[in-house]
A = this chain, B = another copy of it.
Amino acid sequence: MEMATRTDPSAKPRLPLSRERVLHAAITLADEGGIESVTMRKLGQKLGVEAMSLYNHVANKEELLDGMVDSIMGAINDAVGEIEVRSGDWKTAMRRRVLSAREILLRHPWAPGLIESRTNVSATMTGYFDSLIGLLREAGFSIDLTHHAMHALGSRALGFAQELYDDSQELDPEEMTTFLQQMAGHYPNIAWMIQEITHDDYTTLGWCDDQAEFEFALDLILDGLERSRARA
């Protein structure tokens, strides 16, 4: 057994842990292996430290997850802050902010699910929503309509819509044929839809162009809100 009576000179001076380093490491860990791979033990390992050391910088795992959301929202606020608003055109300003938030969230596929599962509200997220509400307010939205608008947008205001179906499975033409035949028996209408869509466009392997669908729904809502505003 070897006693470390003097410090090993070959040990490079490890830069000390900090809340920022912990959060950053957690985010890259989630980027690499999904949110379920973010455990205190694995996170400690990535930082070259025992899991228990993390508790000096983060109260517990809940606070760690809250911090991750807050960090992502900070990046969104930074990006959105650089978009200038041409007065009188609330719709394109809102559209740009939302799509810019979406760009950042797309880099962190685990973030939408985490955001929705959080029960504590992130302060930076509140700041983001405050800026959106301010946009509507200046555009002459009534209080009630502003409130309705935020509910109608929901998570779309942050740039994501939770997909209920995962269409990322790649099927070769033969598999696709038998799949569609099975579908047609039980679910004729879905089969009708998928068949035509995939027939139209063979270039996309997934059935849906998520970005196009997101923008369609976003514009549908924004147009509806503008109509309500103008009517008032």
Cβ proximity bits A104-115 to B, threshold 8 Å, 1 near / 0 not: 000000000101
Contact of A50 with B by CB under 8 A:
no
Contacts of A117 in B (CB 8 A): 113
Instruction: Across the interface, name the chain B residue whose C-beta is closest to A162.
Output: B116
Instruction: Across the interface, name the chain B residue whose C-beta is closest to A117.
Output: B113
Residue in contact with A152 in the complex, picked from B131, B208, B216, CB distance below 8 Å: B216
Contact of A179 with B by CB under 8 A:
no
Contact of A143 with B by CB under 8 A:
yes
Please choose the segment from A13-21, A51-59, A79-87, A192-200 that sits at the chain B interface, where 4 or more of its residues have CB less than 8 A away.
A192-200
- Of the listed residues A130, A163, A188, A192, the one surrounded by the most CB atoms of chain B closer than 10 A to its CB is A130
Cβ proximity bits A131-171 to B, threshold 8 Å, 1 near / 0 not: 10110010000011011100110110010011111100000
Q: What's the Cα separation between A221 and B221 when bound, in Å?
A: 7
Min CB distance, A26 to chain B, in Å? 20
Contacts of A152 in B (CB 8 A): 213, 216-217, 220-221
Residue in contact with A154 in the complex, picked from B113, B123, B164, B197, CB distance below 8 Å: B164
B121, A165: Cβ atoms under 8 Å?
Answer: yes
A218-232 residues at the B interface, CB under 8 angstroms? 220-221, 223-225, 228
Contact of A189 with B by CB under 8 A:
yes
A-side residues, CB < 8 A to B, are 113, 115-117, 119, 121, 123, 125-127, 129-131, 133-134, 137, 143-144, 146-148, 151-152, 154-155, 158, 161-166, 186-190, 192-193, 196-197, 208, 213-214, 216-217, 220-221, 223-225, 228
Could you pull out 11 A-B pairs where Cβ atoms are within 8 angstroms?
A: A116-B162, A123-B186, A127-B187, A143-B193, A146-B193, A148-B213, A154-B162, A158-B164, A220-B224, A221-B221, A224-B224
